[in-house]
């Protein structure tokens, strides 16, 4: 299967590192013009340089903006008036005891993890519909279904994204625009290795350490290892292609079997 995104412009929010950076690289390899987004011009500039070094001939646009704000979304529209593939990847997370999560923290999580994606969807969906082609994706999490007791505000914000995705898919019904969410499982991103070694023997080589971590602390995973960001990116690239034209309104799992459910 050849996924050719030549001629398409993709925007990946929060793409200076981690899963977002891997998604940007995957889209660039498939020929898309990719806009790298983050809050600061310096971090975006470094990510753009890294992407160009990683993907020969990559067509990359620097698109710094704080999309968790209305002004930031408007700024992004001025920089990037046309988007064919919108990947709402931006998200924050952190552990807080359930009864200690403040109103301000709840609001912050919904502003960043939910409303930023809603705002950009409202901004770019109408033009996609007018052109008769578009792809919108929301990067959700296994935490949307398996709410983590240590960060229920994060989990609930990702649950909301599943509803947002399904709702906008109905809004775009029959237009040639597809809207989906991607449920990502436990993923090997920056900082995760240190977290793993806090919980398992530091003398273990990484491959054994992560498997021990999964066995002891994430036993419901059927993959029994952390997911690599590129594996999440592979699904996003597919969903952004012509080949995924019949997949819409879906919550597609790249969770390594973490969610104990037969129906996706």
Q: Which residues are catalytic?
A: 154
> Cα–Cα distance between 86 and 135 in angstroms, integer?
6
For 99, residues 6+ apart whose C-beta sits below 8 A from its C-beta are: none
| Residue 30 φ then ψ, to 5° | -90, 5
> Cα–Cα distance between 8 and 151 in angstroms, integer?
37
Bridge-partner residues for 138, per DSSP? 88, 181
DSSP reduced 3-state for 254: strand
The order of strands in the sheet holding 85-88 is 60-62, 33-36, 9-12, 85-88, 134-141, 177-184, 251-254
Contact between 63 and 48 (Cβ < 8 Å)? no
Task: Tally Cβ neighbours within 10 Å of residue 180.
Answer: 24
C-alpha 14: how far from its chain's center?
Answer: 8
């Amino acid at each position: 299967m050849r996924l050719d995104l030549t001629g398409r412009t993709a925007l990946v929010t929060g793409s200076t590192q981690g899963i977002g950076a891997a998604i940007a690289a995957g889209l660039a390899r498939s020929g898309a013009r990719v806009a790298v987004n983050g809050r600061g011009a310096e971090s975006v500039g470094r990510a753009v340089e890294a992407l160009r070094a990683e993907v020969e001939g990559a067509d990359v646009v620097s698109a710094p903006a704080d999309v968790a704000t209305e002004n930031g979304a408007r700024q992004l529209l001025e920089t990037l008036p046309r988007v064919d593939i919108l990947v709402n990847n931006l998200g924050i997370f952190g552990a807080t005891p359930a009864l200690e999560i403040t109103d301000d923290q709840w609001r912050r999580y919904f502003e960043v993890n939910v409303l930023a994606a809603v705002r950009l969807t409202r901004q770019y969906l109408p033009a996609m519909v007018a052109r008769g082609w578009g792809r919108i994706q929301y990067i959700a999490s296994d935490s949307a279904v398996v709410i983590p007791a240590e960060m229920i505000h994060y989990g609930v914000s990702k649950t909301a994204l599943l509803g947002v995705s399904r709702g906008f898919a109905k809004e775009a019904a029959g237009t040639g625009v597809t809207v989906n969410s991607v449920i990502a499982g436990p993923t090997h991103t920056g900082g995760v290795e240190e977290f793993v070694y806090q919980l398992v023997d530091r003398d273990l080589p990484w491959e054994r350490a992560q498997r021990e971590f999964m066995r002891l602390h994430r036993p419901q995973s059927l993959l029994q290892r952390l997911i690599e960001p590129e594996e999440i990116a592979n699904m996003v690239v597919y969903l952004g292609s012509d080949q995924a034209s019949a997949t819409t309104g879906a919550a597609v799992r790249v969770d390594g079997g973490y969610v104990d459910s037969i129906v996706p």
